[in-house]
A and B are shown apart, each in its own frame.
Chain A
Amino acid sequence: MEERELIKRAKKGDHEAFATLFKQHYPFLVKYLIKVTMNKDQAEELAQDTMAKIVEKIHLYNSKSKFSSWLITIATNRYIDIQRKKGKEKNWQKEQANFRSLKWSMESRNEEWNDVLAALSTLEDGVRIPIILKHYYGYSYEEISNMIGLPPGTVKSRTHHGILRLRKELKLDEQ
């Protein structure tokens, strides 16, 4: 069944349509959230939280953007909300623990914890998220601005400064 039809049925409360939609997008959502949170467990927890929010807010989806984009918009905002509720000091410590946990998990599967991931893990959420959305997923500044609720200028400047830090961290300008 087509995605549009599934969304139409989900808006009417059809739980099977919801389930099919979620099943199709779950791996994409979790992978995105791992990149944002740098923690697999937190990503899976947040994915469930996002799906719960989608069940509640599906009537707000207007089909202007792709469903997957709307999904990561909700997920990003949930993550930002959760992080805001926690203390900054505690956040930093937890973030470092998250990175270590992901690093360990990847290394245990013989995956390389490379310089890019190490450099990304030094960036704050507010900088890392726009960079991932822009340079990995290819969204425009305007789209990212709508996704995370910040003016396009702010998104652009955060991305720009983040990129400068990444270039410095990766020593790209020295080559």
Chain B
Amino acid sequence: MNNKQQPNKEHELDQILKAGIEPIENEVDDTAPSQEWFEQFVLQQQKDIKAGLKRDLVLFMFIASCLLILLSLTFVKSPMLFLLLQGAVFIGAAIFSGFTFFKQVKKR
């Protein structure tokens, strides 16, 4: 008896829940923003993703360079080489930051 009643009870609840939740469907009309709006949105996201990847890559290269400097210094024990590598990394980072900054300013 109970087993037979169980699916009925579940079905009854399903119906009640569906009817109860249904008014929320009317909360939003079926029109979405325009195709252009979505295209702009996607383009912006793709740009942000690219910028994020670039940032991560630069960070990775910077950390790798620092490790390389430390390793070289340990092996060669040459302060001159250390300074040269430090300088190269610093100049590289400055050029990249400057280039990115001017590119952004130009776009604005």
Residues on A close to B: CB < 8 A? 13, 15-16, 18-20, 22-24, 26-27, 30-31, 34-35, 40, 48, 51-52, 55-56, 102, 105-106, 109, 111-117, 120, 131-132, 135-136, 163, 166-167, 170, 172
Contact = CB atoms under 8 A, between A and B. Distances in A.
B16 interface: yes
Given A27-B28, A55-B46, 10 more contacts: A15-B39, A18-B39, A19-B35, A19-B41, A19-B42, A26-B38, A27-B29, A114-B20, A136-B18, A136-B21
Contact of A116 (B21, B25, B28, B29): B21
A10 B27 CA distance: 30
Contact of B28 (A31, A136, A167): A31
Contacts of B18: 135-136
Interface string B1-43: 0000000000011101111110111111111110100110111
Nearest to B38: A19
10 contacts: A19-B39, A26-B33, A27-B28, A27-B30, A30-B28, A31-B28, A51-B41, A102-B24, A116-B21, A172-B12
Contacts of A117: 20-21, 23-24
Given A27-B30, A31-B27, A120-B21, A170 B16 contact: yes
B54 to A, nearest CB: 15
B49 interface: yes
A142 B34 CA distance: 36
A132 B21 CA distance: 9
B28 A40 contact: yes
